[in-house]
A and B are shown apart, each in its own frame.
Chain A
């Protein structure tokens, strides 16, 4: 994450490269992870990238104060949501490079951008792109925002028809359900009508309700990112198979740091399952931080009187929660690689006593995934 203003680097530690990859190491490696290693990064094809350099862009656009910088800071820099109140208005495009399971860029735009200005290099901006996210403040008068959005869609469909447009109907916290569903419908209708009038189908435009104060912004981002993952089909069927084999209710593949899920099994997903999984990731990361501190830095090394054992620990972090009432396992987490973790919600008849079955199937899943995402 190459941002100068917001990102607070965790303390740098020299991690032994030969050590196993664990969640903790993942956390401590962050400063290192910040540098996009352009040379050896695998080239990743996204459905609509032209230049194909493997770094799809997410463009955050919309009216002033609609919440673009807040979204980027909360999701990608873990800024506590209330602190977005102090963010200053953006005056020039802020480009951030996200180095994760796949590299992508997030471009945060100023609210008053005029892309029709001839001095503006539209090819540079729209030429290679993943998705354009248009943010609308649902708590404010959104008339202008929708008009501007319609103009932009029009422009894009004539010039860059491959671009996916994602509309974030934002700041939905604090709106009553009725008011929200009315607002949502009005915005969708107005965009749709306009598109039909101009003879363009709605094809590439989708809508999301979002707020930085709950999980909705992460879910929306998850859905946007999933459209940019070329291998999403195979990923989803792998997860679906895993669920079937282990009688799991739901399985997610999380990008641990951003808590975006890059794929899930194909059963219908609901926010509640996403929420519990995401909070579970928090729990494991928090505890891993507390007890995963670097003991090698201690003077005189490890003083624990335990026999030498080459088989130290788990190669990849693993966690399990067993419930009292249901009398069975409930949540399961397995670190897949440096960036990704698998989270499973177990069904009522998931096999607690058949942990070996889960281990086996997850092992297979992990191996297959290595071929898809080599890092």
Chain B
């Protein structure tokens, strides 16, 4: 397809031992599952591919690699260059409850060496997963301890490996994935400088750009008093709030969660005004403003005027006749139901 040229394909490997929770997090972040649905997922056979289109021409080419020993052996021995070649990001998932941590680290080492050989410039993210199973007082120290061990086995990736504690039961999953996506977006700086200008023009205290399907934050601009907002986890909190809302709307309207999109959400109070509106095909913009009606109204107008300029960012090559004919992007074909087999 000709359109594939304009997209920046980025290959992402999702690996870790069987049962670590790879497919669970993929289904929640990308396919509108809710946490309690993932128990129904079976073990992944071989590799499940999905293509997810993001802001700024990013086409995420996600390889969810089944973690059972036989499959892993196959990746390492028989399809080594096929699997580990051309990788932009490796996400390795560790199960915090695993009783064989030492063995997990050895397996991780094998994967790391294959990656080093075939894609030496890849970026590695390690997710220490199922943190909800650890009593909250012990989480931090256990996480640090595990991360240190894993880093030691990371060969030349060593210091550059990033670690995140995650759980499907809270917003930590969004926090980790937001960082991963941010790393992958090719033109983040361009987007940011445009948003910076926009924030200035509309007197925003803060604007946050969210990807529509996943509700993951792409980036944010924070100004003035908002820099002192005590809720530093608000970006992933809002991701999680938006995802929850999507599900409850879908349930109420009896439609798949992927089609329960709002065009706009407004909240006005005596202390702030806030709205979330669609910016481009794949993004929503959340805006927090001082509580003045005229600022609120002019911000909305200004954003609609800016929409075409942001749309261009998504369609790099100037001439793109038809936005509607996307094939492999965030459409409903990967929704729950069809996707849950």
Contacts and interface: CB of A to CB of B under 8 A. Distances in A.
B234 interface: yes
A343 B276 CA distance: 19
A27 to B, nearest CB: 11
B102 to A, nearest CB: 32
A264 B313 CA distance: 47
B262 A322 contact: yes
Interface stretch (B12-20, B248-256, B324-332): B248-256
B270 A287 contact: no
Interface residues of A, number: 46
Interface string A261-303: 0000000000011011001101110111111110100100011
B245 interface: yes
Query: Chain A's interface: helix, strand, loop or mixed, by majority?
Result: mixed
B317 interface: no
A292 B252 contact: no
A290 B290 CA distance: 14
A319 B266 contact: yes
Interface residues of B, number: 43
Contacts of B292: 306, 309, 311-313
Contact of A306 (B203, B229, B237, B249): B203
Contacts, number: 133
B271 A283 contact: no
A85 interface: no
A254 to B, nearest CB: 15
Nearest to A19: B270
Interface in B109-134: none
Contacts of A322: 262-265
Contacts of A22: 269-271
Interface in B203-256: 203, 205-206, 224-226, 228-231, 234, 237-238, 241, 244-245, 248-249, 251-252, 255
A255 B86 CA distance: 56
Contact of B237 (A290, A311, A313, A321): A290
A23 interface: yes
Most buried by B among A304, A315, A318: A304
11 contacts: A276-B252, A283-B245, A290-B237, A292-B272, A313-B271, A313-B291, A313-B292, A314-B268, A317-B269, A319-B267, A325-B261
Given A288-B269, A291-B271, 12 more contacts: A276-B248, A276-B249, A291-B206, A293-B230, A303-B224, A303-B225, A306-B290, A313-B291, A314-B269, A319-B265, A321-B265, A323-B249
